[in-house]
């Protein structure tokens, strides 16, 4: 019986792993497909940037709402719905007729991807035996990092060999296979009777986060766009006030506020991703404009971070089971801080070896932190609220990444104005980046302090 249970658990983990692969593969892969998509429709740079921004916006909103939908309808059922929607939207993208349609479909696809991520995280935590929880979570997380790593190579290569429409069609075909695996591999679950979804609250949340995202990411379009940001903050604040008092709360913050480790884990996740995710923009500009590498060479160097994340995620799960989630998460934050300090020291004379060491430290730190922080945040959450807390974790990751990119973009804009990043402006670019890096290091150390405090309490 024990052997059967082990085989069944492995089958469930395999199904969750495949379910966690496609969304990140297409998330990073579309970046390599953007020039081809732009050529098909004669799209502007702004329209192409919105293809990525709207996908991230959809993920952020969906992470928050998906947790409650899992409570109401059941996690497996909502995961199958999200995967089916992801497949359908991939087919529609393969036949898109205009650039506005592509942007709208990518927003919807981001919503479906956020639902998949939330469900997989919740199921990974609930189906794993407590003594192997960190290991199971880390195995499932490797699919995310593998997808992010291979996305540009796979999607970019297929676009060159075939065309971008067929890439979406192939993803849809793979999604059908994943749907069958999830449907047959996952155990049935129960939905909560008497619960209902707060539609007006969800609409308020969507409008608030949309305004914040567009105000932060698209202020360059027109000075007036910046007013979206404070408007979004006000709307999001109104949602939080409503949600705290609502008997059908989407986020269940009033309940989760009394659960040990939840808010410290959410804060640490936000600051870690907020300190690391924007560095892809820095490295892309630094490697090409400062060190003189071409786009392919820069991409290969930047893959060091992704490979390090993939390499360290799996053993970090075992360390979590042995030494405790908060302690291992603290180690990840410390390694990330060391990587950020290394990046701070880079200049126009730095070697590629030094850059690769920094990339490896950053990737290793995130890899160690990801699974352990997830376990530290969720380990005391009551079972009915696991999916809601998982959605909050996903939201903190995406919001942290948005804030990271916004911080770096704003500091570069403040120092350089309308000047382009070029070898002639290396000094200004590095000065701007160092200001942002100092802030990122401070944020990461704040997260480290929070996690060390949590570890001492346990």
Asked, for residue 193, whether it belongs to a domain, the answer is no
Asked, for residue 192, whether it belongs to a domain, the answer is no
The 10s digit of each residue's pLDDT in 421-455 is 667 777 888 888 888 889 999 988 988 888 888 77
- pLDDT at residue number 418: 59
Q: Helix 386-416 and helix 262-276: axis angle, to 10°?
A: 30
Q: Which pLDDT band, with edges at 50, 70 and 90, does 82 fall under?
A: very high
The 10s digit of each residue's pLDDT in 155-175 is 878 887 888 899 899 999 988
- pLDDT at residue number 421: 60
Asked, for residue 365, whether it belongs to a domain, the answer is yes
Asked, for residue 354, whether it belongs to a domain, the answer is yes
What's the average model confidence in pLDDT over 73-84? 89
The 10s digit of each residue's pLDDT in 323-344 is 888 888 889 999 999 999 999 9
Is the pLDDT confidence value at 109 over 80? yes
Domain tally, the chain: 3
Q: Which pLDDT band, with edges at 50, 70 and 90, does 222 fall under?
A: low
- Looking at the chain, the whole-number percentage of residues with pLDDT higher than 90 is 13
Contacts 24+ apart (CB under 8 A), 179-183: 179/80, 179/83, 179/84, 179/87, 181/14, 181/15, 181/18, 181/19, 182/15, 182/16, 182/18, 182/19, 182/76, 182/79, 182/80, 182/83, 183/80
Is the pLDDT confidence value at 214 over 80? no
- pLDDT at residue number 169: 93
Q: List the domain range (segments joined by +) for residue 57.
A: 1-186
What's the average model confidence in pLDDT over 379-398? 79
Structure tokens given for 86? 């992801």
Whether 287 and 399 share a structural domain: yes
Is the pLDDT confidence value at 118 over 90? no
Structural domain ending residue among the three candidates 208, 223, 249 = 249
Q: Which pLDDT band, with edges at 50, 70 and 90, does 4 fall under?
A: very low
Structure tokens given for 177? 């296979």
Which ranges of 295-385 would DSSP assign to H, the alpha helix? Answer: 295-323, 325-344, 352-378
Whether 317 and 423 share a structural domain: yes
CA distance 287 to 299: 9
The 10s digit of each residue's pLDDT in 229-243 is 788 888 888 888 888
194 or 258, which is more confident: 258
- pLDDT at residue number 341: 93
Asked, for residue 328, whether it belongs to a domain, the answer is yes
- 3-state class (DSSP) for residue 396: helix
What's the average model confidence in pLDDT over 389-404? 79
Q: Which of 16-25, 88-97, 193-202 tops mean pLDDT?
A: 88-97
Average predicted confidence (pLDDT) for the chain? 81
Structure tokens given for 267? 């804060």
Whether 236 and 274 share a structural domain: no
Is the pLDDT confidence value at 179 over 60? yes
Q: Which pLDDT band, with edges at 50, 70 and 90, does 223 fall under?
A: low
Total-model pTM? 0.76
Whether 21 and 127 share a structural domain: yes
Asked, for residue 307, whether it belongs to a domain, the answer is yes
CA distance 390 to 63: 8
What's the average model confidence in pLDDT over 307-328? 83
Whether 21 and 164 share a structural domain: yes
Whether 8 and 139 share a structural domain: yes
- pLDDT at residue number 87: 94
CATH number for the domain spanning 170: value is 1.20.1250.20
- pLDDT at residue number 335: 93
Asked, for residue 37, whether it belongs to a domain, the answer is yes
Asked, for residue 191, whether it belongs to a domain, the answer is no
What's the average model confidence in pLDDT over 348-352? 88
Whether 53 and 127 share a structural domain: yes
Q: Which pLDDT band, with edges at 50, 70 and 90, does 1 fall under?
A: very low
Range name among 15-19, 87-91, 334-338 with the lowest pLDDT average: 15-19
Which ranges of 379-416 would DSSP assign to H, the alpha helix? Answer: 386-416
Whether 436 and 307 share a structural domain: yes
Whether 180 and 56 share a structural domain: yes
271 or 226, which is more confident: 271
- pLDDT at residue number 417: 63
Q: Which residues contact 133 (CB under 8 A, 6 or more apart)?
A: 125, 320, 321, 375, 379
Whether 270 and 228 share a structural domain: no
- pLDDT at residue number 192: 54
Is the pLDDT confidence value at 458 over 70? no
The 10s digit of each residue's pLDDT in 273-297 is 888 877 877 787 788 778 887 766 7
Whether 270 and 176 share a structural domain: no
CA distance 218 to 22: 28
Whether 312 and 422 share a structural domain: yes
Structural domain ending residue among the three candidates 186, 208, 241 = 186
Q: Which pLDDT band, with edges at 50, 70 and 90, does 190 fall under?
A: low
For residue 44, with 0-12 CB atoms within 10 Å meaning exposed, 13-18 middle and 19 or more buried, which class applies?
A: exposed
């Amino acid at each position: 019986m024990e052997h059967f249970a082990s085989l069944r658990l492995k089958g469930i983990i395999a199904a969750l792993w495949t379910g966690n692969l496609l969304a990140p593969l297409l998330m990073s892969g579309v970046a390599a497909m953007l020039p081809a998509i732009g050529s098909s429709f004669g799209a502007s740079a702004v329209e192409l940037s919105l293809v990525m921004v709207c996908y991230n916006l959809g993920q952020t909103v969906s992470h928050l709402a998906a947790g409650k939908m899992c409570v109401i309808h059941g996690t497996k059922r909502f995961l199958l719905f999200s995967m089916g929607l992801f497949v359908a939207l991939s087919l529609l993208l393969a036949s898109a007729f205009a650039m506005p349609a592509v942007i709208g479909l990518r927003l919807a696809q981001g919503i479906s991807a956020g639902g998949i991520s939330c469900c997989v995280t919740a199921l990974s935590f609930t189906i794993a035996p407590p003594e192997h929880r960190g290991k199971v979570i880390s195995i499932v997380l490797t699919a995310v990092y593998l997808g992010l790593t291979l996305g540009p190579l796979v999607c970019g290569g297929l676009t060159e060999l075939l065309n971008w429409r067929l890439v979406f069609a192939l993803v849809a075909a793979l999604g059908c296979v994943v749907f069958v695996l999830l449907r047959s591999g996952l155990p049935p679950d129960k939905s909560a009777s008497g619960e209902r979804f707060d539609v007006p609250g969800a609409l308020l949340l969507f409008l608030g986060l949309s305004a914040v995202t567009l105000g932060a990411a698209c202020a360059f379009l027109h000075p007036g766009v910046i007013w979206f940001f404070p408007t979004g903050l006000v709307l999001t604040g109104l949602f939080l006030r409503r949600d705290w008092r609502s008997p059908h709360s989407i986020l269940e913050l009033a309940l989760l506020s009394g659960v040990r480790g939840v808010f410290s884990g959410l804060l640490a996740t936000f600051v870690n991703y907020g300190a690391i995710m924007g560095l892809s923009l820095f490295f892309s500009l630094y490697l090409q404009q400062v060190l003189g590498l071409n786009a392919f060479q820069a991409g290969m160097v930047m893959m060091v971070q992704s490979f390090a994340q993939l390499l360290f995620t799996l053993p970090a799960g075992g360390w979590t089971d042995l030494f405790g989630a908060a302690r291992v998460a603290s180690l990840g934050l410390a390694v990330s801080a060391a990587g950020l300090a290394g990046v701070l020291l880079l200049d126009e004379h730095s070697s590629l070896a030094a850059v690769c060491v920094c990339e490896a430290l950053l990737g290793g730190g995130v890899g160690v932190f990801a699974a352990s922080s997830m376990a530290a945040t969720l380990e005391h959450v009551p079972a009915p609220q696991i999916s809601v807390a998982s959605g909050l974790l996903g939201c903190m990751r995406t919001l942290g990444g948005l804030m990271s990119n916004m911080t770096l973009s704003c500091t570069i804009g403040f120092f350089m104005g309308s000047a382009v990043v070029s070898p002639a402006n290396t000094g200004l670019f590095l000065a701007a980046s160092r200001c942002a890096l100092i802030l990122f290091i401070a944020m990461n150390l704040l997260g480290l302090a929070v996690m060390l405090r949590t570890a001492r309490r346990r």
